Amino acid sequence: MTDLSIVAERVINSAYRARGANQGSPIAAALRAVADELVPEECKPNLSSNHILHNYPMFYFSYCERKNIRSQMLAIADELETL
């Protein structure tokens, strides 16, 4: 088998665990693992530093984009769980 990166191993292992434990869709589990790796949950940016204060629109937009992508990925995983 091809050598996998650590992230790829985590994704495939989550799918195998879900399948082996009959805990919903392995595809959904893998998608959640991808979301956790690529777009982890994070706190909303605050105005505690001057750098963020001057660049807040950029930081906030980027945060919103990441949060939206994560939400979409998890919504797909939820949908796959119903299969």
71 found inside a domain: yes
Q: Model confidence over 19-63: pLDDT tens digits?
A: 776 667 888 889 999 999 888 888 877 666 666 666 777 777 788
1 found inside a domain: no
Nearest to 36 by CA among 16, 64, 9, 10: 10
* Domain encompassing residue 53: 6-81
Nearest to 34 by CA among 63, 81, 82, 69: 69
Average pLDDT, the chain: 82
67 found inside a domain: yes
70 found inside a domain: yes
pTM over 0.85: no
Q: Give the integer Cα–Cα distance in Å for 69 and 55.
A: 22
How many distinct structural domains can be found in the chain?
A: 1
